Amino acid sequence: MPPVVSGGASITVRRASFVTLLLFTFVPAFAAEAPIRYQLDLREPATHLVHVHMTIAGASPALQIQFPAWNALYQIRDFVRNVQDLKGACDGAPTDLIPVDVNTWRNGDRACQELVASYDLYANEESVFSAILNEHHAFLNLAQVLFYLPAERSRSVAVEFLLPEGWKLATPLEQDAAGKYTATDYDRMVDSPVEAGTFDDYSYQQGGAEYRVVVYAEGARYSSKKLLESCGKITATETGIMQDVPFRRYTFFFHFLAFGGGGMEHAYGTAIGFPASRLDAGWLDLESTIAHEFFHLWNVKRIRPQGLEPVDYVRGNDARDLWLSEGVTSTYEELALVRSGIAARKDFYDRVANQIEELEKRPARHFQSAELSGIDAWLEGHRDYFRPERSISYYNKGELLGFLLDLGMRQASHNRAGLDDLMRALDRDFAKQGRFFQDSDLMALASRLTGGAFDAQTFFRDYVSGTVDLDYGRYFGYAGLTVNQEAASTPDWGFRATASFGGPREIQVESVDPGSAAADAGVRTGDVITSVNGQPLSVPPDRLTGVKPGQQVELGILRRSRPVSVKFQLGSSSEPHYRIEENAQATPDQIALRESWLGAVSSP
């Protein structure tokens, strides 16, 4: 994801007056070291209101509190819109909290031994990227719920939850003897989502660690045995790839609902939404999401680009390295599925070929580089940004770059080093040392691991920062694979539609081709498509599988909140189709490289 994470709030420094300095001296020294205490009352779920008390010991005069403007997705979402009835109390007496800007308030001109900020937070977005409180459950991304101190982000925190009767709670946060949840600082706290309600709860042990699996299914049927088996295969494979288990406990949160999807990574867990209607036919897609989100445990949560540090919750961060942080995570999503035996090699080849097809269909690849795609991630909140003529995806191109970088390093080093070695070196030399990487570090590592034989500078110049077309034939050829292109007849819907992020996935028509069957049937720009042939829709129609040219389709549409049904016959168009196949004339060295690349992985 988003999703996703980012860095360091600004601090306004003012010349302190003599009076201010005197006031500081009357605050007990130990007070400033006391944790910031939060109390979240969830006992009125029907109102969607979380009642919050934030208690700050040793508050200096004019102390600022600030609310994040973004979290999870790389979008400024202005979470402060959900804050209401903010009140302050200084040592038990009411005090004004004075607005500084839309996200920031400050207390008055005197110190408080204890400053309390009380407010209600409206939580009514059902998504793993957001916050929800209703009669059924609560799911909270805490950066969307809690204020922080811009000047004291590193201060420890303690959180208390008041729950409706019969509810329980799950979170990666540590619980102390008094029942409160604690974290070393605000960043650690808000990287720990919270599920509360009457969820299903499972666990398994592996590699010296405990994996907790929390499921909110809203009546959906699923196999807990199958779910645990899928998680276990993926966690064993990926910890084996990285040769690392950097936790004692990891928590999977699953939401199997009627709508929505996607995953959000966290340092000690992940939250995954998946449509309940696809739990049978789409199980491999669920496993893909699990594999992607779990690999984020290293890539982006520990192996972090310098541009994402420190996290700036108000303005956002430089996201130019998302091609690696997200895209290469998608590379490992696919590698983990095939190395674990979950996906057959043919499925792997087909899925990679689909990624090639996706990139080649986007004219924007000629001017938007993988790096620029990450910089522009902050525009993803606008639907029209996803037009093929406007943008590429750092997920898509980054995944392909991961495969090419891996194969290029293996070829240059005679299969002695590859992407696995690069990721393990980043984990060992950067993540475990508290360091953040830059592109120069990636190039230096790729060159060093291959004894200087891999030309990392040219690769990065042409393919990461530049827009040179990717040479699929050359790189996949190193593994004895051929990439074939052929013309294929594909269904022409006669319109283009895009999907919103989070919540109920809204598919909206952006443009309609004049003279198309869809236009003649009455499809209009701005229509929200809810179903195709009676089946709920979670992706744009042109991404549906099993649909053929000439097929009769019926669209369920919301037009200005009114339901409309439209029927028409799909057209046909000819587009490039890609296939990856094993070359029957591959050399022994090419076959050995392929077997090493796609072979099974042992757990550490």
Question: Tens of pLDDT along 560-585?
Answer: 889 999 999 999 988 889 999 999 99
Per-position DSSP letters for 269-331, written without gaps between them: EEEEEEEGGGTTTTHHHHHHHHHHHHHTTTBTTTB-BGGG-SB-TTT----TTHIIIIIIHHH
Question: In this predicted model, what pLDDT tens digit does every residue of 134-190 receive, in sequence order?
Answer: 999 999 999 999 999 999 999 999 999 999 999 999 999 999 999 999 999 999 999
pLDDT (mean) for 509-530: 94
* Rounded CA separation 142/126 (Å): 14
Partners of residue 121 on adjacent β-strands? 50, 83
Give the Å distances, CA to CA, from 134 to 81, 170, 280, 397: 19, 17, 28, 39
281 exposure class (CB count in 10 Å sphere: 0-12, 13-18, 19+)? exposed
Q: What percent of the chain has pLDDT over 70?
A: 93
Helix (H, G, I), strand (E, B) or coil at 556: strand
* Rounded CA separation 537/555 (Å): 10
Instruction: Report strand pairing: 507-512 vs 481-492.
Output: unpaired
Question: In this predicted model, what pLDDT tens digit does every residue of 311-370 receive, in sequence order?
Answer: 999 999 999 999 999 999 999 999 999 999 999 999 999 999 999 999 999 999 999 999
* Rounded CA separation 459/475 (Å): 12
Q: Is the CB of residue 300 less than 8 Å from the CB of residue 326? A: yes
Looking up tokens 């990461």 gives: 464
Q: What percent of the chain has pLDDT over 90?
A: 85
How is residue 447 written in tokens?
């060159």
Give the side-chain half-sphere CA count within 13 A for 17.
8
Residue 100 has pLDDT above 80, yes or no: yes
Torsion angle of C-alpha atoms 232, 236, 238, 239, degrees rounded to 10: 130
Query: Widest CA span of the chain, in angstroms?
Result: 84
Q: Is the CB of residue 116 less than 8 Å from the CB of residue 89? A: yes
Residue 24: band (very low, low, confident or very high) from pLDDT cuts 50, 70, 90: very low
Apex CA 519: angle with CA 521 and CA 509, to 5°?
Answer: 105
Question: Given this model, what pLDDT does residue 602 score?
Answer: 59
How is residue 460 written in tokens?
């990065």
Q: Is the CB of residue 64 less than 8 Å from the CB of residue 149? A: yes
224-242 and 329-339 helices, crossing angle to 10°: 110
Q: What are phi and psi of 285, to 5 degrees?
A: -65, -35
Residue 107 has pLDDT above 90, yes or no: yes
More confident of the two residues 501 and 158: 158
Question: Given this model, what pLDDT does residue 469 score?
Answer: 98
* Rounded CA separation 592/351 (Å): 22
* Rounded CA separation 379/368 (Å): 13
pTM of the model: 0.90
